[in-house]
Amino acid sequence: MLNKIYDWVDERLDITPIWRDIADHEVPEHVNPAHHFSAFIYCFGGLTFFVTVIQILSGMFLTMYYTPDIENAWKSVYYLQNEVAFGEIVRGMHHWGASLVIVMMFLHTLRVFFTGSYKKPRELNWVVGVLIFVTMLGLGFTGYLLPWDMKAVFATKVGIEIAASVPFIGEWIKILLAGDSTILGAQTLTRFFAIHVFFLPAALLGLLAAHFIMIRRQGISGPL
């Protein structure tokens, strides 16, 4: 039955090559931890992706309760944390995942660096990687404000002041982020929310697609 449905669709859309391209490649021995334990360092990229997926899923569930306005943001998080069934787990996964994804990304970067995998022909993928790196830090920075508790607001204040000290465009960056040249308030929260859940994830998904397409094109780097 399933086969028949598959064939029916395939006859019309020729979907086989799409997934075959991902499925049909051999994984070389030197990156396979089943053969060389030390090859676990090649898992860091995959684990980073794994946590990224969890971040997206848990984040989607968080927005079912979270309210991005200064009156209710904290209350909605408090409610989710203390009243909603498994709310503490969902928020906990997003909270700890945010740190884990950064840890795994650091480790992955170090793996690529110390195995010299950024060398020709992979320079561009390294550059895309650094852009992913910056995007991830941006996600961490904007997400920190959202619970609207004391540490959120005051850490963000410091961060925005740092951004504002950039010559020439500092003031402009500040207004773009905070929504006002002096107040850190309602506008800042809605902007950070939009950046955290729409702008940066969109950028991240685009960059990740580029990252993975390049890896498929070039294959993984050879053994040292």
Partner 1 sequence: MHRGKGMKFVGDSRIKAENKMPNVPKDYSEYPGKTEAFWPNFLLKEWMVGAVFLVGYLILTVAHPSPLERQADPTDTTYVPLPDWYFLSMYQLLKYEFASGPFNIVGALVMPGIAIGALMLVPFMDTTKERRPFKRPLPTAFMLLAFAAMFYLTWESVANHDWEKAKAQGEIREEVSFDPESEGYKIYAGASCIGCHGDAFEGGLGMPLADTGLTAEEITEIAKNGRGEMPGGTFKGTEEELHTLSEFISGLSTE
8 to 27, contacts with partner 1 by CB under 8 A? 10-17, 20-27
What would the two tokens of residue 12 be? 């019309």
- Whether residue 68 contacts residue 148, with contact meaning beta carbons closer than 8 Å, is answered with no
Using the rule CB under 6 A, give the single segment among 9-17, 104-112, 157-165, 169-177 that binds ligand HEM: 104-112
Q: How far is the CB of 137 from ligand HEM (least distance, A)?
A: 10
Q: How far is the CB of 48 from partner 1 (least distance, A)?
A: 11
List the one residue out of 84, 85, 104, 101 whose CA is nearest residue 93. 101
CB atoms within 10 A of CB 13: 9
Instruction: Name the residue nearer to partner 1 (CB basis): 25 or 194.
Output: 25
Residue 52 as a binder of ligand HEM (CB under 6 A): the answer is yes
Q: How far out from the chain centre does Cα 184 lie?
A: 25
Instruction: Name the residue nearer to ligand HEM (CB basis): 79 or 126.
Output: 126
Q: Which of partner 1, ligand HEM, none lies near 89, with the C-beta cut-off 5 to 8 A by kind?
A: partner 1
Query: Mask 60-79, x = binds ligand HEM (CB under 6 A)?
Result: --------------------
Query: Mask 162-201, x = binds ligand HEM (CB under 6 A)?
Result: ----------------------------------------
Computed from CA positions of residues 39, 41, 45, 47, in that sequence, does the dihedral angle turn out positive or negative? Answer: positive
Residue 43 as a binder of partner 1 (CB under 8 A): the answer is yes
Residue 110 as a binder of partner 1 (CB under 8 A): the answer is yes
Q: How far is the CB of 198 from partner 1 (least distance, A)?
A: 21
List the one residue out of 93, 107, 86 whose CA is nearest residue 55. 93
Q: How far apart are CA 97 and CA 107, in angstroms?
A: 15
Among 4, 38, 150, 182, binds partner 1 (CB under 8 A): 150
Residue listed under structure tokens 């969109």: 202
**Angle of CA points 61, 129, 221, to nearest 5°:** 120
Residue 98 as a binder of ligand HEM (CB under 6 A): the answer is no
DSSP 31: G
- Considering CB under 8 A, how many residues would be counted as binding partner 1? 94
What would the two tokens of residue 60 be? 């989607």
CA distances from 59 to 7, 91, 98, 197 (A): 36, 8, 10, 8
Contacts with ligand HEM, residue ranges (CB under 6 A): 42, 44-46, 48-49, 52, 105, 108-109, 111-112, 117-118, 122, 125-126, 129-130, 132-133, 136, 208, 211, 215, 220-221
